[in-house]
């Protein structure tokens, strides 16, 4: 990694994250550069109207912000063991 230390490198370890907004709670699995929402309180809505979790989903964006340290996530993010 070069530059300002943005943390864009891929993470080799598998992480399990808990992402909590005011009205949304989710569990996200991170493997390398892949982010997969395992469980989400908005799951029914997203699957009905979108069929998959989009990349612009606030849960995925908050998880990426946390992992890559791009900026402070807008949600409360914790690493689950």
What does pTM read for this prediction?
0.81
pLDDT in tens, the chain (81 residues): 334 444 444 455 789 999 999 999 999 999 988 999 999 999 888 888 888 888 899 999 999 999 999 999 999 999 998
- Which tokens go with 65? 């912000």
Report the SS3 class of residue 11: strand
Q: How far is CA 28 from the centre of its chain?
A: 6
Q: Supply the pLDDT for residue 48.
A: 84
Map out the domains of the chain as residue ranges: 11-80
Q: Supply the pLDDT for residue 44.
A: 86
User: What's the angle, vertex CA 46, arms to CA 74 and CA 38, rounded to 5?
Assistant: 70
């Amino acid at each position: 990694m070069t530059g300002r230390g943005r943390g864009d490198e891929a993470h080799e370890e598998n992480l399990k994250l808990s992402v909590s907004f005011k009205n949304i709670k989710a569990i996200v699995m991170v493997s390398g550069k892949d982010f997969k929402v395992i469980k989400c309180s908005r799951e029914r809505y997203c699957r009905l109207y979108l069929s998959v979790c989009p990349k612009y989903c606030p849960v995925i964006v908050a998880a990426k912000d946390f992992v890559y340290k791009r900026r402070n996530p807008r949600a409360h993010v914790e690493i689950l063991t």
